[in-house]
Structure 1
Amino acid sequence: MRHGVLCALLALSLGGAALMLGGVHLLWLWPALSLYITAIAYFENQPRWLGKRPDGSLSWWSWVVLGPWISFSLAVAWVLRLMSREAPHAELSGLRFGRRLGSSELPRGIFRVIDLTAELPEPRCLRSKGYVCIPMLDTRSLQAHELVTRLSSVASDEATYVHCAQGHGRTGLVVAALLLLRGTANTPSEALALIHTVRPAVRLSKEQHATLSDVAELLSSPAS
């Protein structure tokens, strides 16, 4: 939720400054609008409001309306990619997972890509690999039943690559859920412990932890 609050505060600051200063500063209304819509998307947990299409591209209106936010997100991802000493991806029980990759970084033999980003377009090199888009906002998640439904059809797939922007929160949640679905782990804590052996920086938000617990409860119920 802090992402939404931060975006809202920045939107109000930029918008207010633009209206007070006038003239060329009115151009600041564009990033202010971009931040405002992003903030509302976070508050309402509506990742599709950012315009991500099922094929991994972003809608034309998303570039027009949310261009400043998208550009900022791409720039942050690029800078963190250059500065990070962490391996771009890890492997566990037949699953590859990590951050958003460039064309030269994709591991060989990948036949399925699960993209969890809502704010970034998927590189073309990854869209042809049995691509599945499950957009989530950073630090947020889907409802447990929706997540299980979306993952059930791909849970048994081998040579799968799961990623979000940096491969920590959203990726950790989905990989842990896949481990539970596959029976590789029996509890959320066991799933996360396995993940931490190969990617220690994985950290889930409180909401993501709660969703993972709900996934485990859903899978253990007789109806599942």
Structure 2
Amino acid sequence: MGLAAKLLLVCSPLAYAALKAPSAPLRFALGYSAGVGFVIAGAASLDIPWLLGKRRRDGSVPLWSYLLFSSFHMGFRVYVKVRRLVSEEPVYTKVTPEWYVGGWPFAPGDVPAGKPAVVDCTCELQRTAVVADLPYLNLPAFDSRVPKLEYFDEGVRWSLEQQQAGRPVFVHCAFGHGRSVALLCACLVAQGAVSSWQEAFALIKSVRPHVRMNRIQRETLMRWCERYSQNAKT
């Protein structure tokens, strides 16, 4: 289930509860939370990751975003942390000695050793202190979406440059299942470590079994691979 569908599932009862709430403050709180959820659901459906205002240069989320969309920011962080708490899956997984894939790093143990370069494929989660001193690139995308094609090009180029400088690369999204996997597949293809994105995905899944890509992520990756193959021939 995509982010938009999850938000609609949560916010529709909130909107109904707001209409039935016995007091004005409660009606406002429930109505505000529902309204924010509907707006974010629309942005996720229309692929508008800049709505939340995350700054690509440093991965920070501005104060106005926290104020305007506070119920979403708080709710999504709680969701990520609770899901992380109950999951037996490691935060990150080594795919090869040069590549790691995983979820949002917010605790010291969430980052691979070796001072990796970090590729952040989220638009809804702020860069945290545990990666503040590491080389960093943000390719914004909502959960269940994928970075745009031009971001794929930038992410692949930057990641390979970091590896040429002797650094491993850690590609992450919220949980290390979709957005980050799609980008890492592209990186592995461009590096020549695999012959196809399907082989790259199989390699990642062999070490991180819960990874999956939805239709949008697969189609975007396929378009990037087709364009990359054509450019390589010219």
**TM-score, normalising length from structure 2?**
0.87
Change (3 A) 1:79 1:157: same
Match of 1:131 in 2: 136
Match of 1:198 in 2: 207
Q: Contact (CA 8 Å) 1:89, 1:96: kept in 2 or not?
A: yes
Q: Contact (CA 8 Å) 1:52, 1:58: kept in 2 or not?
A: yes
Distance of 1:12 and 1:84 partners within structure 2: 27
Deviation at 1:97, TM superposition (A): 1.5
SS in 1 for 2:93: strand
Counterpart among 79, 98, 102 of residue 102 in structure 2: 98
Deviation at 1:84, TM superposition (A): 1.3
Counterpart among 133, 158, 163 of residue 153 in structure 1: 158
Q: Contact (CA 8 Å) 1:30, 1:65: kept in 2 or not?
A: no
Change (3 A) 1:60 1:98: same
Structure 1: which amino acid aligns with 2:144? T
Match of 1:79 in 2: 82
Match of 1:171 in 2: 180
Distance of 1:222 and 1:3 partners within structure 2: 34
Structure 1 gap segments, 5+ residues each: none
Distance of 2:228 and 2:203 partners within structure 1: 19
SS in 1 for 2:160: coil
Structure 2: which amino acid aligns with 1:71? M
Q: Contact (CA 8 Å) 1:173, 1:209: kept in 2 or not?
A: yes
SS in 2 for 1:90: strand
User: Counterparts in 2 of 1:33-112, with a 5 A limit?
Assistant: 33-54=35-56, 55-93=58-96, 94-101=98-105, 102-112=107-117
- Tell me, yes or no, if structure 1 residue 215 matches structure 2 residue 224: yes
- Tell me, yes or no, if structure 1 residue 140 matches structure 2 residue 149: no
Deviation at 1:58, TM superposition (A): 1.0
SS in 1 for 2:80: helix
SS in 2 for 1:177: helix
SS in 1 for 2:114: coil
Change (3 A) 1:149 1:131: closer
Q: Contact (CA 8 Å) 1:56, 1:127: kept in 2 or not?
A: no
Distance of 1:197 and 1:220 partners within structure 2: 25
Structure 2: which amino acid aligns with 1:7? L
Structure 1: which amino acid aligns with 2:101? F
Q: Contact (CA 8 Å) 1:113, 1:127: kept in 2 or not?
A: no
Q: Contact (CA 8 Å) 2:55, 2:61: kept in 1 or not?
A: yes
**TM-score, normalising length from structure 1?**
0.91
Structure 2 gap segments, 5+ residues each: none
Distance of 1:106 and 1:5 partners within structure 2: 30
Question: Identity over the aligned pairs, expressed in percent?
Answer: 28
Q: CA RMSD in A?
A: 2.0
Between stretches 22-31 and 173-182, larger displacement belongs to 22-31
Structure 2: which amino acid aligns with 1:118? C
Change (3 A) 1:77 1:5: closer
